[in-house]
Amino acid sequence: MKHPLQIIGLHPGSLDAPKDGAALISTADILSGGKRLLANFPEFKGKKIPFASPLKDYARTLEKQLQKGKKVVLLADGDPLLFGIAASLIPLLGEQNVTITPAPSAVQIGAARLGMSWKNFEIVSLHGRDDYSPLFGAMQCKKDCAVYTDSINTPQVISKRLVDKGIDNYSMAVMAQLETPDEVVAQGSPESFLNFDCTDLNIVILTAENKEHSTPLFGRTDESFIKEKGLITKFPVRAAGIALLDLRGGQTVWDLGAGCGSVAIEASFIGEGARFFAVEKDPRRVGMIKENVRNLRAWTVEVVRGEMPQALQNLPDPDRIFMGGGIGRDDSVIRKAAKRLVPGGRLVVHAILMGSIQRTRDLFEELGWAWQSMQIQASTSDKLAGDIRYKAHNPVTILWADKPEG
């Protein structure tokens, strides 16, 4: 191509172009971008091409103009590579055919308003998205977060999601119309924004409190959890089961028959960017899971109350499934779970009863899944008669298998 595509970031709010960018715009044959950005250049005499979905078709439209030798400028907001269009277009057009001129991002300007360093921010975009798990995961790790919003995920909606989750260790700042005469900077607790209203051009910054109190990554004691007496996947077996789940970032994980939620909660601190669904039918135990989620700040764990397999119907297909108390007296639950597991996913089962062990083995054999098992019987120290004894836990059989690809 004779000329590369010039992607120019405009200053947030004022929509001024950087000095070099202004020169490129003045000599361009074609100006493209969102309608709001194009409207900022009424004096431009060349052709204007508004952004249009799908992205591949839009990229082809720009590419045809470039192949004709046209000078094409694409307008973006702030830094085009920070949740902007540049990262999506470069793979389609080739990096050798794209040149980027960035402006300061809304994150940089917002952090400056608060006198904060933004280099360690977790930057999350909720623009056109309904999955809050990346945000909850960052907050679970007590990271400061900058959130790009949209007309649906407004500061008011975000604050309600935080309050509903019980997140109480963050302060919230909303900055709207940055770098304009109508600029608004508001700060407070998430609750204080439940009735807040502002324009769609805004950014939210969430600041963690008490960062010095580190959260354990793994290895919580059984006493860390509110539970019915003795009804918990105990620490030694829990550690083995979570290890066998082979968690990866961004996965969807089901904990079926979750009890007090110990497996889902513990695993959520090592499954970065993953979503965890703790499914439990008993209302009292559901309450315990919710309380444990709040106490341990396991914000990526979603509690699902209901009978299985019906309760699984509206959940996203899982990459990993843990079954502790959820096998039941027949194979209906594990069969349904196995069907929903994505190809290449893993199912891990903890079983105490021989019937549960046999049903799991029979299903794996029927499905043709290569499976493995181990039995764990741990003993932990316990005070007795002024001395120490080892108190034995019930032996637990762990069975696991990967669903074949394709």
Give the model confidence (pLDDT) of 127-184 as tens digits.
888 889 999 999 998 899 999 999 999 999 999 999 999 998 999 999 999 999 999 9
CA distance 94 to 54: 18
Which pLDDT value is given to residue 212? 62
What stretch of H or E contains 277?
strand 275-280
Q: What percent of the chain has pLDDT over 70?
A: 98
Which pLDDT value is given to residue 325? 67
pLDDT digits (tens, 9 = 90+) for 26-77: 999 999 999 999 999 999 999 999 999 999 999 999 999 999 999 999 999 9
Domains present along the chain, CATH in parentheses: 5-104 (3.40.1010.10), 107-208 (3.30.950.10), 222-402 (3.40.50.150)
- For residue 352, give Cα distances in angstroms to 15, 27, 93, 371, 375: 64, 75, 57, 18, 10
Q: What average pLDDT does this structure show over 206-221?
A: 79
Judged against a pLDDT cut of 70, whether residue 213 lies above it is answered with no
DSSP 313-333: TTSPPPSEEEESS---SSSHH
Q: How confident is the model at residue 211 (pLDDT cuts 50, 70, 90)?
A: low
Q: How confident is the model at residue 314 (pLDDT cuts 50, 70, 90)?
A: very high
